[in-house]
Each structure stands twice: as structure tokens, then as C-alpha cells.
Amino acid sequence: MNTESLSRTGTAEELHAVTPIRRDGVRLVRCIPESMALVLGSRQSEHLIDLRRAAQRNIEVIRRRSGGGIVLVDPHRSLWIDIEIGADDSRYVAEPLGMMAQVGRWWLAALISLDCAFPGIWQFVGQTGSDSDGELVCFAGRSHGELMVEQSKLVGLSQRRTRDGARVQGQLHFVDPTDEILALLVEEAPGPLRRPAIVDEQGRDVLNDRFLDALTLVVGASLSGR
């Protein structure tokens, strides 16, 4: 069992495509999209989005294989890391919510190690928020294992499982994407959406340069600590 990390650049669709998960280890992948893209959850319809308007803004629209609401990915304004945990690795958690909680703790520990944790940061434990906002836009809601600052989401998580293991996708933002998302909806949102917690410019530089390595160290240490 080992822990490895790498960076991968491609279109958002290529980065979301299913790749084989090694059953006997953990791989962390820094995903860098070539351009901005709007990513729908697996159960969301493209009819939500004004595709012509998105094309005019050069924003790709795709659907991921994990659930949840709309996410905007951007090579400069967000940080996206996938963690692939093989089913034969001791860090694999068979219960999906338990897997989400563990990955959230890894993100939290890595943020703390870089002195990039917000004051009052906490991990949400419980059922997904009862309002429909998070079902529409990921960062407007909250789900088990995700990291919050007060009532705003800092780290969003989604999970895809196969017989070989689990892929947990995590993201945080350096710029609030809410207005960009709202501008592409066919219909107006039912009301004001909760906005994400945003990492400032200083934190952005640290996380872009060092977060993948810090997260890899945390995940590797969790193996030796078992």
C-alpha cells in the first residue's frame, strides 16, 4: 500500500472521466482544467443551463458521475483535488458517509499544517441540508464531511464509488463563482443562495504551491497511524 500524487491537465470532461482506481493504494490528483467549465451533478439536466450563453462565454458544460449540485471549475480561481482510495487499502472506508468524513478530515489537517485554516472552521457531520439550494448549486448547501466557515462552505466534496474503490473529489474557491453560475441558469434561483467561503490571495499562493504535497503527507501519515 502506498500514497502517490500527481497533477493532471485537460478539459474538464477529460478530468472527470473515470480512470481505473488502484485497489492497493491511494492516489491524489491535482486536476487543472484547461478552461472554465460548469459541471452538473449526475442527476442534473442540461436544461437547467442556457447552453448558448455558456458557449458565448467559452464555458464548457459537462456532467460528472457523482451527485450534488452545480460546480464551476476554473484553472485560476479554484483548487480541485481528487483522492482515489483503493478498496484493498486500509484507508478505504466501506460506508460512503464515513469515507466522506475521513477525506474532509484529511483536507482540514492539511489546511492546518499550512496555517491556512480559517478561524472557526468546522466539519459538517449529518444529513445534507434540508433546503434545495445545495441540490442546485453545490457550494450553496452542505453535505456530510464537508468543511464550513460559519455557515459558508469552504471545501465541497463529492464521491464516486466502483468495485475497485472510491474517488472523492474536493474543491475550494479563490473567487466566488456564484454570480457566474446564476448568470447561466435558464430560470432564476428561487431565492438568494448561500455563498462559499473564499480563500484570500495570500492563502491562494500557498495552497497552489504547497497544498497537494501537504495533503499527500497527511494521507500518508494516516496509513502509518493505523
Q: pLDDT tens digits for 24-66? A: 999 999 999 999 999 999 889 999 999 999 999 999 999 998 8
Residues 187 and 138: their CA atoms lie apart, in Å, by 17
Q: pLDDT tens digits for 71-130? A: 999 999 999 999 999 999 999 999 999 999 999 999 999 999 999 999 999 999 987 654
In the block, which residue shows the cell 497527511?
A: 218
8 A C-beta contact, residue 66 and residue 159: yes
What fold characterizes domain 2-224? BirA Bifunctional Protein; domain 2 (3.30.930)
Measure the CA angle with vertex 184, ends 179 and 187; round to 5°. 100
Q: pLDDT tens digits for 149-191? A: 999 999 999 999 999 999 999 999 999 999 999 999 999 888 8
8 A C-beta contact, residue 158 and residue 140: no
Dihedral sign, CA of 205, 175, 114, 146? negative
